[in-house]
């Protein structure tokens, strides 16, 4: 078992946070350290029983002169001396030389680590020391859809082995890229994308197909997690370009503010709106998209759509979400959702996100509004756009010791946050 971060004999509580990253703000009593750096295009995370942190990195989306690192795309990070900083890093899985692409999704279940790799999900045996056996790799699911606006495949595995996979949409609104393009009817993307599919983590050799679709209308549900009751929650990236493509219906300010980003519970057979509907936080309802005859006010068929549990500012891009089910943080955080916002890619601005927020939850519903938990990743308000931001939160995970880990896919940094009432 790796050591939990505690002060060494004779040190003060401030000394115990000597690796604090002072560029990132967190609430009083919390300590944030740079756990690892330059690990690659870090996406989602999983933490083992021994506190080994596993990171899935992706070959797509590198910035500037950065190149995919040598070796495999799955990184295992260990903090042997308990100072809040990883001192061992190992790589597993196919690397660039073997044609590997990495991915976003990653999860632990039973004795395996599951990781997305291009168009498949593979699993590897985890040894007692937290290392992976590369020779043990097996394909659990393949033939996942590739390309388009959202090419990655986040997933979550329940205690019972249900494997939920969420391929994102290939387009913004199932229509062409120009102004005044009408939406496809029916939207053929929904056969294989923009929804949640259900498979079995205990089986290998499964093939993705339309028949296993569990829910539909989720444009890009990158954050997936279960609460203690087994309910599956998902975040939703809202669409863009309302003002740019339909200026007769939407002012520039409305383009900045619409639609809301969402947190919802995923239920079998439900439809969550995309591409025909979006959630308007000012009107507090789903409204009809202009590609399908809407004008910013019409509701039409959207009156029957599933409304979100909680909403967040437009274009913040929720890239991961985890519900706090361990111990270590104050009771206020129990059962609530931590959401990593990747940051706005809306070219018109203003840009927001680049933070981690906390959304209280109780019995499958929101219990109050969200608050910003960790901020400063972009490096200042003037840097809140993708090309200038220093860091972009993309993954969240909790360790068995209660620590919160955050991944950054801009500079490849991993943070660790712990709480001490004496700090």
The torsion of the CA quartet 365, 370, 376, 382, rounded to 10 degrees, works out to 120
- Write out the H or E segment, with its range, that includes residue 20: none
Banded model confidence at residue 319, pLDDT cuts 50, 70, 90: very high
The confidence score (pLDDT) of residue 195 equals 98
Residue 237 has pLDDT above 80, yes or no: yes
Q: Give me the pLDDT at residue 4, please.
A: 29
Q: Which residue has the higher pLDDT, 290 or 348?
A: 290
pLDDT at 62 over 90: no
Render pLDDT for 184-223 as a digit per residue (tens, 0 to 9).
Answer: 999 999 999 999 999 999 999 999 999 999 999 999 999 9
What pLDDT score does 63 carry? 55
- CA separation for the pair 400, 404 (Å, rounded): 10
Report long-range pairs for 361-368 (Cβ below 8 Å, ≥24 apart): 361/227, 361/233, 361/309, 361/323, 361/335, 361/336, 361/337, 362/335, 364/227, 364/229, 364/231, 364/265, 364/309, 365/309, 366/263, 366/309, 366/310
As a whole number, mean pLDDT of residues 321-336 equals 97
Is residue 254 pLDDT above 70, yes or no? Answer: yes
pLDDT digit string, tens, across residues 360-387: 999 999 999 999 999 999 998 888 887 8
Query: Looking at residue 97, what is its pLDDT?
Result: 65
Name the DSSP class of 358: E
Instruction: Provide the pLDDT confidence category of residue 14 given band limits of 50, 70 and 90.
Output: very low
Q: Are 140 and 114 in contact (CB under 8 A)?
A: yes
What's residue 351's pLDDT?
84
Q: How far apart are CA 60 and CA 294, in angstroms?
A: 35
What is the per-residue pLDDT across 105-155, written as a single tens digit (0 to 9) for each? Answer: 999 999 999 999 999 999 999 998 888 988 889 999 999 999 999 999 999
The answer to whether residue 35 scores a pLDDT higher than 90 is yes
User: What whole-number distance in Å separates Cα of residue 323 and Cα of residue 193?
Assistant: 25
- Render pLDDT for 80-97 as a digit per residue (tens, 0 to 9): 988 889 999 999 888 766
Average pLDDT score over residue span 300-314 = 94
SS3 287: strand
Mean per-residue pLDDT over the chain, rounded: 91
In angstroms, the Cα distances linking 279 to 22, 187, 287, 355, 405 are 36, 19, 6, 22, 30
Main-chain dihedrals φ then ψ at residue 296, nearest 5 degrees: 95, -10
pLDDT at 315 over 60: yes
Residue 291 CA to chain centroid, in angstroms? 28
Model pTM score: 0.94
DSSP assignments along 191-208, one per residue: GTSSEEEEEETT--SEE-
pLDDT of residue 68: 63
Q: Is 170 a residue whose pLDDT tops 80?
A: yes
Q: What is the largest CA-CA distance in the chain?
A: 69
Residue 202, number of CB atoms within 10 A of its CB: 14
In angstroms, how far is CA 309 from the centroid of its own chain? Answer: 17
Are the C-beta atoms of residues 169 and 274 closer than 8 Å to each other?
yes
Tokens 């004496």 sit on residue: 422
Query: What is the per-residue pLDDT for 99?
Result: 72
pLDDT for the residue numbered 66: 61
Distance between CA atoms of residues 290 and 276, nearest Å: 8
Cα gap 204→277, rounded to integer Å: 36
Q: How much is the average pLDDT of 381-406?
A: 92
pLDDT of 7 > 80? The answer is no
Q: Does residue 258 have a pLDDT over 80? A: yes
Rounded-to-integer distance, Cα 2 and Cα 414, Å: 17
Sign of CA dihedral 322, 326, 328, 333: positive
* Domains of the chain from N-terminus onward: 15-419 (2.120.10.30)
Q: What is the pLDDT of residue 101?
A: 83
Q: In this predicted structure, what is the pLDDT of residue 147?
A: 92
């Amino acid at each position: 078992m790796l050591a939990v971060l505690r002060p060494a004999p004779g040190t003060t509580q401030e000394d115990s946070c000597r690796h604090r990253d002072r560029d990132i703000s967190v609430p009083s009593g919390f300590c944030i350290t740079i756990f690892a750096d330059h690990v690659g295009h870090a996406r989602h995370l999983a933490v083992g029983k021994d506190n080994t942190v596993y990171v899935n990195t992706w070959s797509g989306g590198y910035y500037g002169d950065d190149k995919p690192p040598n070796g495999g795309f799955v990184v295992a990070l260990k903090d042997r001396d308990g100072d809040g900083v990883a001192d061992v890093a190992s790589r597993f899985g196919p690397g660039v030389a073997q044609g590997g692409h990495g991915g976003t999704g990653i999860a632990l279940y039973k004795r395996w680590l599951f990781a997305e790799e291009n168009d498949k999900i593979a699993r590897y045996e985890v040894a007692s020391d937290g290392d992976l056996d590369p020779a043990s790799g097996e394909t659990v699911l393949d033939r996942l859809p590739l390309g388009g606006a959202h090419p990655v495949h986040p997933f979550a595995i329940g205690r019972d082995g249900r494997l939920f996979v969420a391929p994102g949409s290939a387009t913004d609104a199932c229509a062409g890229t120009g102004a005044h393009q009408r939406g496809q009817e029916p939207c053929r993307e929904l056969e294989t994308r923009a929804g949640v599919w259900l498979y079995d983590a205990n089986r290998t050799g499964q093939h993705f197909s339309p028949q296993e679709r569990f829910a539909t209308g989720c444009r890009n549900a990158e954050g997936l997690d279960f609460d203690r009751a087994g309910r599956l929650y998902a975040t939703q990236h809202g669409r863009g370009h309302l003002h740019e493509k339909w200026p007769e219906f939407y002012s520039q300010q409305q383009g900045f503010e619409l639609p809301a980003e969402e947190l919802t519970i995923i239920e079998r057979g439900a439809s969550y709106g995309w591409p025909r509907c979006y959630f308007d936080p000012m009107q507090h309802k789903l409204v009809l998209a202009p590609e399908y005859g809407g004008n910013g006010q019409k509701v039409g068929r959207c009156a029957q759509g599933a409304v979100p549990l909680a909403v967040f500012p437009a274009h913040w891009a929720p890239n991961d979400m985890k519900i706090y089910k361990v111990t270590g943080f104050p009771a206020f955080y129990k059962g609530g959702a931590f959401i990593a916002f990747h940051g706005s890619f809306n070219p018109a601005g203003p840009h927001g996100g680049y933070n981690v927020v906390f959304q209280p939850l109780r019995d499958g519903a929101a219990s109050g509004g969200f608050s910003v938990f960790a901020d400063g990743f972009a490096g200042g308000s003037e840097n809140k756009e993708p090309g200038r931001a220093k860091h972009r939160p993309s993954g969240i995970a909790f360790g068995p010791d209660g620590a919160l880990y955050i991944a950054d896919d801009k500079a490849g940094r991993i943070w660790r946050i712990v709480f001490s009432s004496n700090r």
